[in-house]
């Protein structure tokens, strides 16, 4: 079966068999069930649908990262290329993250969503997050990247720890030359098998999206959206501006359309929307980026690293939410203090990667470092943080996808023929299984 046949296959499917249609319908049904029957939606089994799907995906993230990174590095002919790709990725991450932080500050100053807010704050509600933020230290973060045991890194699913070991193992395998051929072939085959597992798991995405959305709406209710609709709308608007304008311009420079790219990853975006977790789409994103023309070494290094260092949505949220809280509490922040927020947020956004509730914890760390009296104001946004996390995750996914394509282009390893062929066709991610078996 040639590439043209594979690309054309999704067009022949009935619409109800297309994954993104199923996920979209599931999200709508989840919202309706959570709204009309909130007590039923708060059932533990409903919640388990969403949690279970995310756990299924997380189950294979570590081995997929290992196989992808090791396979990519093992086929490289020069060690210097690994460091070159890593440096380019980190430079890109810092530049784009700064744009995201600055955009959040600009929008918050122009729109001023917190001015006139009359809600109450409850310091006890955010005490746990503030405590975790106070415990974050840069040295601890660096040491945490080194696992106590390799098996432990895989068992706990720590992305950066798995990435570190994978890089070391890949370099070692590369230096073995022909002696490592058998192991490389085994890892390549294992990677195909793992993507086959993903192709099976992803069929349950509609169930996971329904459960997660129904439980969220049932627990927090539409009223949570209504109470702080201004902040939610401002955040979503800012995220859209960032993706369309900032990432759009970057994509244009790299020679592709951001809108075609978003269409290409629409299935992953809907899965993230339904589960509020960008990790739930990580394996599919890595596989689809390879099919898009990005080289395997770049995908293996950039995407997992980006999930910890390139959190564009989280960066926008931190500066926007910080100014919202200050405005709501009537605290004026000078230009110098706002610049301090930008610098501190760049550091705290890296320090809490991989921590549950990272977006909220980094917000607490930023507030505590700049104006500690604003920390109790986090209770204002606590009730809607679940809805905000969806936008954070969506923006993070878009940012990491674009980053991988740009770094591949920067490195001179972007296959333009594959890129144009993929972006000009409506390719369904159910092709993952076909790509695995034919690749």
φ, ψ for residue 256, nearest 5 deg: -145, 165
pLDDT at 435 over 50: no
φ, ψ for residue 414, nearest 5 deg: -105, 120
DSSP letter assigned to residue 174: H
Residue with more model confidence, 402 or 20: 402
Answer for the pair 209, 267: CB distance below 8 angstroms, yes or no.
no
Q: What angle do CA 87, 192, 176 make, to 5 degrees?
A: 55
Q: How far is CA 418 from CA 95, 247, 293, 405, 413, in A?
A: 27, 21, 5, 12, 12
pLDDT at 148 over 50: yes
Q: How far apart (Å, rounded) are the C-alpha atoms in residues 276 and 85?
A: 30
Residue where the block lists tokens 């066709």: 425
Confidence of residue 78 (pLDDT cuts 50, 70, 90): low
Q: Which of 211, 359, 396 is nearest to 285 (CA)?
A: 396
Q: What is the CATH number of the domain that holds 424?
A: 1.10.3860.10
Q: How far apart (Å, rounded) are the C-alpha atoms in residues 301 and 166?
A: 10
pLDDT at 67 over 80: yes
Q: Which helix (H) or strand (E) holds 22?
A: helix 19-36
pTM for the full model? 0.73
Answer for the pair 107, 99: CB distance below 8 angstroms, yes or no.
no
What is the reported pLDDT for 433? 44
Confidence of residue 23 (pLDDT cuts 50, 70, 90): confident
Q: How far apart (Å, rounded) are the C-alpha atoms in residues 26 and 54?
A: 15
DSSP letter assigned to residue 246: I
Neighbours of 95 (CB within 10 A): 10
Confidence of residue 77 (pLDDT cuts 50, 70, 90): low
The per-residue pLDDT for range 389-423, each reduced to its tens digit, is 788 888 989 999 999 999 999 988 899 989 988 89
pLDDT at 203 over 80: yes
Interacting residues of 367 by C-beta distance below 8 A, sequence separation 6+: 322, 325, 374, 375, 377, 378
Count of domains in the chain?
A: 1
Residue with more model confidence, 344 or 94: 94
Residue with more model confidence, 364 or 112: 112
pLDDT at 387 over 50: yes
Q: How far is CA 141 from CA 96, 145, 346, in A?
A: 22, 7, 14
Q: Which two tokens stand for residue 177?
A: 């030359």
Confidence of residue 35 (pLDDT cuts 50, 70, 90): confident
DSSP letter assigned to residue 122: -
What is the reported pLDDT for 434? 42
Residue with more model confidence, 431 or 261: 261
Q: Which two tokens stand for residue 277?
A: 């977790």
What is the reported pLDDT for 118? 55
| Residue 308 domain boundaries | 3-438
Confidence of residue 370 (pLDDT cuts 50, 70, 90): confident
Residue with more model confidence, 157 or 154: 154
Q: What angle do CA 356, 239, 58 make, to 5 degrees?
A: 30
Of 75-79, 184-188, 364-368, give the range with the top mean pLDDT: 184-188
Q: How far apart (Å, rounded) are the C-alpha atoms in residues 135 and 287?
A: 36
pLDDT at 427 over 60: no
Neighbours of 6 (CB within 10 A): 15
Q: Which two tokens stand for residue 28?
A: 């709508």
b vs e for 62-93, b when ≥16 Cβ sit within 10 Å of the residue's Cβ?
Answer: bbbbbbbbbbbbbebeeeeebeebeebbeebb
Side-chain-facing half-sphere of 436: CA atoms under 13 Å: 21
pLDDT at 354 over 60: no
Residue with more model confidence, 88 or 361: 88
**Radius of gyration of the chain measured on its C-alpha atoms:** 22
Q: Which of 275, 244, 291, 229 is nearest to 438 (CA)?
A: 291
The per-residue pLDDT for range 246-283, each reduced to its tens digit, is 999 999 999 999 999 999 998 888 888 877 777 778 88
Cα end-to-end span (Å), the chain: 11
**Average pLDDT of every residue of the chain:** 78
Q: What angle do CA 293, 297, 301 make, to 5 degrees?
A: 110
């Amino acid at each position: 079966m040639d590439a043209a046949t594979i690309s054309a296959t999704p067009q022949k499917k009935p619409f109800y068999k297309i994954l993104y249609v199923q996920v979209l319908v599931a999200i709508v049904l989840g919202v309706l069930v959570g709204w009309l029957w909130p007590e039923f939606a708060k059932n533990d089994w409903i919640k388990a649908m969403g949690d279970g799907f995310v756990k299924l995906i997380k189950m294979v993230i570590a081995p997929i990262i290992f196989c992808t990174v090791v396979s990519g590095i093992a086929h490289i002919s020069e060690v210097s290329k690994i460091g070159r790709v890593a440096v380019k990725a980190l430079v890109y991450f810092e530049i784009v993250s700064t744009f995201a932080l600055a955009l959040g500050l600009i929008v918050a100053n122009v729109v001023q969503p917190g001015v006139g807010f009359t809600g109450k704050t409850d310091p006890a509600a955010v005490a746990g997050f503030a405590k975790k933020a106070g415990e974050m230290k840069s040295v601890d973060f660096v040491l945490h990247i080194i696992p106590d045991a390799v098996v432990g890194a895989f068992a706990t699913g720590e992305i950066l720890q798995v990435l570190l070991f994978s890089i070391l193992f890949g370099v070692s395998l590369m230096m073995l030359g022909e002696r490592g051929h058998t192991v490389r072939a085994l890892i390549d085959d294992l990677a195909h098998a793992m993507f086959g597992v993903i192709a099976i798991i992803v069929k349950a995405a509609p169930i996971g999206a329904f459960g997660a959305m129904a439980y969220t709406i049932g627990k927090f209710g539409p009223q949570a959206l209504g109470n702080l609709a201004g902040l939610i709308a401002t955040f979503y608007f800012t995220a859209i501006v960032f993706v369309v304008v900032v990432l759009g311009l970057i994509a244009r420079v790299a020679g592709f359309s951001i809108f075609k790219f978003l269409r290409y990853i629409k299935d992953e975006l809907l899965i993230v929307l339904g589960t509020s977790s960008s990790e739930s789409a990580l394996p599919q994103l890595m596989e689809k980026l390879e099919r898009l023309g990005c080289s395997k070494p770049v995908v293996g290094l950039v995407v997992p690293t980006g999930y910890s260092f390139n959190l564009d949505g989280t960066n926008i949220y931190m500066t926007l939410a910080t100014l919202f809280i200050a405005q709501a509490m009537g605290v004026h922040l000078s230009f110098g203090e706002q610049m301090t927020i930008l610098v501190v947020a760049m550091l705290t956004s890296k320090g809490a990667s991989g921590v549950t509730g990272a977006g909220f914890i980094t917000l607490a760390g930023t507030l505590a470092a700049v104006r500690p009296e604003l920390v109790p104001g986090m209770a204002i946004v606590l009730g809607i943080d679940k809805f905000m996390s969806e936008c954070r995750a969506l923006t993070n996914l878009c940012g990491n996808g674009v980053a991988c394509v740009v770094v591949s282009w920067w490195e001179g390893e972007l296959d333009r023929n594959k890129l144009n062929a993929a972006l000009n066709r409506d390719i369904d991610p159910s092709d993952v299984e076909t790509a695995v078996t034919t690749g």
